[in-house]
Structure 1
């Protein structure tokens, strides 16, 4: 009796695949922006869910397609959220173009670029950056030393970093600000 039930489930699943598989794959291709491998994985996972939930076959649907599309869509959303939650993967070739951190020439060139960009800032902005980033003072300490409110220190730091970002290629002020504040 158990063998018959398994055979029936396999037949029902094969029929489901035959009737709705191509449409499901097309739907998932759209959700994955044409990534066929990812769409095929999601289609397999969707059919696995159908196999794991035989009660879905007994539901009063005229067609299983809406159920399959809903499950596939939710799986695609979960997969995308999962990918976005972890850092992007890079290959070894990305490191080939990066400068060697132990190369003193690269460090010297970077230091010269930063110094030139800092000289272009207004004296007020430069003073804040020097206190916070070069002297290592906290916002409160820099504010006390400069005799200005902490909010002004934060504001000047923000606008100074934006100005540096425009003057230094490949510089990301948002990344530096996050690293500095620890948030």
Structure 2
């Protein structure tokens, strides 16, 4: 049986079962990325295991302690992403040909998708923009549009087909 550090009263499996899903939802809300949230939860339990001797149940509950660790992990991840973004922008600003080419390709791709979106029906365009580009949940969008989630999923499915066809008509090969 896995034990967190030297504290025999903290069974890692039981702690994960009790708090892992909540920590994942917290990390997912903060980071907006499923795989990054999974890594964050793993990092939380790794840090908890490494610093288990500092856990004092008289000061805070285990849940509070884990969420404090999770907050720090999320902050660390956000800072790492910001550093990555700064490096990317610096590469573009440094006029490196490969960075400029990548940026130009991304801008061209965005314009092509925007033009293709204008060629499909309003229902399909709204479904695709709200789900893929804005990252909103099917539940929220369906409620806002006054349609069922099944209808919205159908619009997304057929919207993607229509978008692909529109892009092919524009000469874009996928």
Q: TM-score range by the shorter chain?
A: 0.3 to 0.5
Rg (Cα) greater in structure = 1
Higher-RCO chain (CA-CA 8 Å, sequence separation at least 6): 2
- TM-score after normalising by structure 1: 0.42
- TM-score after normalising by structure 2: 0.44
